[in-house]
A and B are shown apart, each in its own frame.
Chain A
């Protein structure tokens, strides 16, 4: 086995060069190769943490804006409802007032009409007396041939009408 032929001086020169190469590699790795990796990994971890933090802040802001928008929406809805209710009430009040006016006018007209009817009846009743007087005068004249005195006929008619 060539590895165990320790009489071969190459085995020891191999070890010498191993120490040289391994030592050089250690220096290169520790001074030049590893620090950049560490800094890049650190940078990335920092960046990711910062991004996550910013994302969290933005989400919070968005949530706040959302809540505000919802509040505004609810307020607008309430206002709209109030406006609708107010105009409805106003319309109802107007309608009620118009109805009341109408009723009052109708009542007035009814009263006027009733007054006119009463007046007409009174007039008619008065006219009936005159007609009765004239009829009684005419009937008397035709029956007994004399025309009675107007005052006496009137009194008699009034007496009869009084029953």
Chain B
């Protein structure tokens, strides 16, 4: 996993490889994440205990965390979309966390994946807004009370900012995961390269090793935070869709 040869190769960890036909290593980890989420929620809740055990507590904490987020951001009527937000949050969280395991593939580091997830959110939010408000949804792009003369400026700006949600959602997650894993890989390669330089190099290798230890902890934080940000932005967009500002 570390340096292949004497050069720094930080990007090969993102390379897709087919397992069966079009099913890639990335998809394998999606499957693992989906399986782990289902197992946690279904097996964890199996005891249906009044006083929960560890796994059941974890399942309940995940449920209440996302439910609280949806209720707070979207409101009571937003609980219709709770299963979706929960699936999205857990899927990204598990994808990020699984990526922290050595030799694992981080599927959230693929822009194609994050764009797909962002598009799902975008289409859902737009569909919800149109379903609830019909044609009034398009008033969203021109705030009431604004001078009509400004319409040629305001409307394109609002439309661009609405569309750019897809970009900001997907690029934020993608860039965070890529940057983190590239940094980990670069410093890990330093350790190996310096370690190969003899006894002085071993002393020198301690610094990037220590840095990597700190980085791993930081990446766990980022892994959680990015899943949280993705989910909470989804909730905020849903709020806009349900209430139109």
| A residues lining the B interface (CB < 8 Å) | 1-4, 8-19, 21-22, 24-26, 28-30, 32-34, 36-38, 40-41, 43-44, 47
Contacts and interface: CB of A to CB of B under 8 A. Distances in A.
A38 B67 CA distance: 10
Interface string B68-98: 0000000000000011101100110000000
A38 B82 CA distance: 12
Interface string B42-82: 10010011100000100110011000000000000000001
Contacts of B87: 22, 25-26, 29-30
Nearest to B64: A41
Contacts of A3: 14, 109-112, 174, 178
A15 B113 CA distance: 6
B42 A16 contact: no
Contacts of B16: 2, 8, 10-11, 14
A37 B11 contact: no
Interface residues on B, range: 35 or more
Contact of A33 (B22, B45, B50): B45
23 contacts: A3-B112, A10-B17, A13-B21, A13-B27, A14-B26, A15-B112, A17-B22, A17-B23, A18-B30, A18-B113, A22-B30, A24-B34, A26-B83, A28-B42, A29-B83, A29-B90, A33-B42, A36-B42, A36-B48, A37-B59, A40-B49, A40-B56, A41-B63
Interface of B: 11-12, 14-18, 21-24, 26-27, 30-31, 34, 37-38, 41-42, 45, 48-50, 56, 59-60, 63-64, 82-84, 86-87, 90-91, 107, 109-113, 116-117, 120, 174, 178
A25 B60 contact: no
Given A11-B112, A21-B31, 4 more contacts: A3-B14, A22-B91, A29-B83, A44-B50
A40 B41 CA distance: 12
Contact of B18 (A10, A12, A26, A41): A10
A21 B112 contact: no
Contacts of A37: 41, 45, 59-60, 63
Contacts of B18: 10, 13
B41 A13 contact: no
Tell me the interface secondary structure of chain B in the complex: helix
Give the interface centre of A30, A36, A37 by most chain B CB atoms within 10 Å.
Answer: A37
Given A1-B11, A44-B50, A25 B34 contact: yes
Contacts of A40: 45, 48-49, 56, 60
Contacts of A43: 50
A34 B63 contact: yes
A117 to B, nearest CB: 105
B34 A9 contact: no
A24 B27 CA distance: 13
